[in-house]
A and B are shown apart, each in its own frame.
Chain A
Amino acid sequence: MMEITLQHYLILSTVLFVIGLIGVMRRKNLLLLFFATEILLNAVNIAFAAISSYYGDMTGQMFAFFIIAIAASEVAVGLGLLVLWYKRTGKIDLDTMTSMKG
Chain B
Amino acid sequence: MELYLYTALFAPIVGSLFAALFGMSKKNIIAGLVPSALLFVSWLASLKLLIYILGGGEEVHVELMTWMATGDLYVPYGFIVDQVSVTMMMVVTTVSTVVHVYSIGYMDHDKGFNRFFAWLSAFVFSMMVLVMSDNFLGLFIGWEGVGVCSWGLIGFWYHKETATWAANEAFIMNRIADLAMLIGIFLVYWNTGSIQYHEAFAAMPALDTSVLTAMGIFLFIGAMGKSAQFPLHTWLADAMEGPTPVSALIHAATMVTAGVYLVVRANPLYDLIPDVGLFIASLGAFVAMFAATMALVNRDMKRIIAYSTLSQLGYMFVAAGLGAYWVALFHLMAHAFFKALLFLGAGNVMHAMHDELDPFKMGDLKTSMKWTWIFMTLASVALAGIYPLAGFFSKDLILEVSFVEHHYILYTVLLLTAGLTAFYSFRLVALIFHGDDRHTENGVHPHEAYNFMLYAMLPLAILAVVAGMIFKTPYYEMVTQVLPAVEYHIHNHTTFWIMTIGTQLFVIASIVYAYKKYAKAVKVDKKVESGLLYQLLYNQYFIPQFYEEYFTKTYRELSEMMWKLDMKVVDATVDGVANVFHGTGKATHEMQNGNLSTMLRWMVIGTVVLLALAAAFTFGQSEGVVKMLSGLGAI
Hey, which bits of chain A sit against chain B, CB under 8 A?
A: 21, 24-25, 28, 94-95, 97-102
Contact B596 A97, beta carbon cutoff 8 Å: yes
> Among the listed A95, A101, A102, which residue makes an inter-chain contact with B597, where contact means beta carbons less than 8 Å apart?
A95
> Among the listed B592, B596, B600, B601, which residue makes an inter-chain contact with A102, where contact means beta carbons less than 8 Å apart?
B592
Q: A21-B604, A25-B604 are in contact. Are A94 and B594 (CB under 8 A)?
A: no
B495 at the interface (CB under 8 A from A): no
Q: What separation, in Å, do the CA atoms of A100 and B593 have in the docked complex?
A: 8
Contacts of A94 in B (CB 8 A): 595-597
Contacts of B593 in A (CB 8 A): 98, 101-102
A40 nearest CB across to chain B (Å): 11
Q: What separation, in Å, do the CA atoms of A98 and B597 have in the docked complex?
A: 10
Q: What separation, in Å, do the CA atoms of A28 and B600 have in the docked complex?
A: 11
Contacts of A24 in B (CB 8 A): 600, 604
Which residues of chain B (562-610) have a CB below 8 Å from chain A?
A: 589, 592-597, 600-601, 604
A24 nearest CB across to chain B (Å): 5
Contact A100 B604, beta carbon cutoff 8 Å: no
Contacts of B601 in A (CB 8 A): 25
Contact B600 A98, beta carbon cutoff 8 Å: no
Contact B595 A102, beta carbon cutoff 8 Å: no
B283 nearest CB across to chain A (Å): 76
Contact A98 B604, beta carbon cutoff 8 Å: no
Q: Which 5 A-B pairs have the closest CB atoms?
A: A101-B594, A102-B592, A98-B594, A94-B597, A100-B594
- The bracket for how many chain B residues form the interface is 10 to 19
Q: What separation, in Å, do the CA atoms of A99 and B592 have in the docked complex?
A: 11
Hey, which bits of chain B sit against chain A, CB under 8 A?
A: 589, 592-597, 600-601, 604
17 residue pairs from A and B, CB less than 8 Å apart: A25-B597, A25-B600, A25-B601, A94-B595, A94-B597, A95-B595, A95-B597, A97-B594, A98-B593, A98-B595, A99-B594, A100-B592, A100-B596, A101-B592, A101-B594, A102-B593, A102-B594
A44 nearest CB across to chain B (Å): 13
Q: What separation, in Å, do the CA atoms of A21 and B605 have in the docked complex?
A: 11
Q: CB-nearest residue of chain A relative to B597?
A: A94
Q: What separation, in Å, do the CA atoms of A84 and B596 have in the docked complex?
A: 17
Contacts of A102 in B (CB 8 A): 589, 592-594
A84 nearest CB across to chain B (Å): 16
Q: What separation, in Å, do the CA atoms of A99 and B593 have in the docked complex?
A: 9
Task: Count chain A CB atoms within 10 A of each CB in B592, B594, B597, B601 and give the residue with the most.
Answer: B597
Q: What separation, in Å, do the CA atoms of A7 and B597 have in the docked complex?
A: 32
A96 nearest CB across to chain B (Å): 9
Contacts of A97 in B (CB 8 A): 594-596
Q: CB-nearest residue of chain B relative to A26?
A: B597
Q: What separation, in Å, do the CA atoms of A24 and B604 have in the docked complex?
A: 9
> Among the listed B589, B592, B594, B597, which residue makes an inter-chain contact with A28, where contact means beta carbons less than 8 Å apart?
B597
Q: What separation, in Å, do the CA atoms of A21 and B601 have in the docked complex?
A: 9
Contacts of A100 in B (CB 8 A): 592, 594, 596
Q: CB-nearest residue of chain A relative to B590?
A: A102
Excluding A25-B604, A97-B594, A97-B595, 6 further A-B contacts by CB distance (< 8 Å) are A25-B601, A94-B596, A94-B597, A95-B595, A98-B594, A100-B596
Contacts of B596 in A (CB 8 A): 94, 97, 100
Contacts of A101 in B (CB 8 A): 592-595
Q: CB-nearest residue of chain B relative to A101?
A: B594
Q: What separation, in Å, do the CA atoms of A98 and B600 have in the docked complex?
A: 13
Q: What separation, in Å, do the CA atoms of A24 and B601 have in the docked complex?
A: 8
A41 nearest CB across to chain B (Å): 15
Contacts of B594 in A (CB 8 A): 97-102
Q: What separation, in Å, do the CA atoms of A98 and B334 have in the docked complex?
A: 98
Q: What separation, in Å, do the CA atoms of A100 and B592 have in the docked complex?
A: 8
Q: What separation, in Å, do the CA atoms of A36 and B601 have in the docked complex?
A: 13
Q: What separation, in Å, do the CA atoms of A99 and B596 have in the docked complex?
A: 10
Q: What separation, in Å, do the CA atoms of A102 and B596 have in the docked complex?
A: 12
Contacts of A98 in B (CB 8 A): 593-595
Contacts of B600 in A (CB 8 A): 24-25
Contacts of B595 in A (CB 8 A): 94-95, 97-98, 101
Q: CB-nearest residue of chain B relative to A25?
A: B601
Q: What separation, in Å, do the CA atoms of A97 and B595 have in the docked complex?
A: 6
Contacts of A25 in B (CB 8 A): 597, 600-601, 604
Contacts of B592 in A (CB 8 A): 100-102
B604 nearest CB across to chain A (Å): 6
Q: CB-nearest residue of chain A relative to B605?
A: A25
Q: What separation, in Å, do the CA atoms of A101 and B153 have in the docked complex?
A: 72
Q: CB-nearest residue of chain B relative to A27?
A: B597
A38 nearest CB across to chain B (Å): 15
Q: What separation, in Å, do the CA atoms of A62 and B597 have in the docked complex?
A: 32
Task: Count chain A CB atoms within 10 A of each CB in B589, B600, B601, B604 and give the residue with the most.
Answer: B600
Contacts of B589 in A (CB 8 A): 102
Q: What separation, in Å, do the CA atoms of A15 and B366 have in the docked complex?
A: 121
B51 nearest CB across to chain A (Å): 94
